[in-house]
Structure 1
């Protein structure tokens, strides 16, 4: 068996095994747990303006 003939296949197989091992042993970071509703801030924006008339909409 000529190893030089299959060196590309061997390299791809090694990379595939290394990638699979990396995915299998990777740890997933835990999401932070919010224990209180006080910790959550909600931003509210109020927009107050008068409506434009049809003439004001057409005017440049």
Structure 2
């Protein structure tokens, strides 16, 4: 198993180090869920939880 890194594209910050599956899980688990609408039309929507795009290297 090789070590992979989750790196920010613009700032080159390393957010997480682990295997490929753990890196994908880290990105997916840090999503932000927001509710949209009111009453019966209320729905949950998930958004990207980071301020920059990430890359697994």
Higher strand share: 2
Return the TM-score normalized by structure 2.
0.22
**Higher alpha-carbon Rg:** 1
Higher helix share: 1
Determine which structure has greater relative contact order: mean sequence separation of CA pairs < 8 Å that are 6+ residues apart, divided by chain length: 2
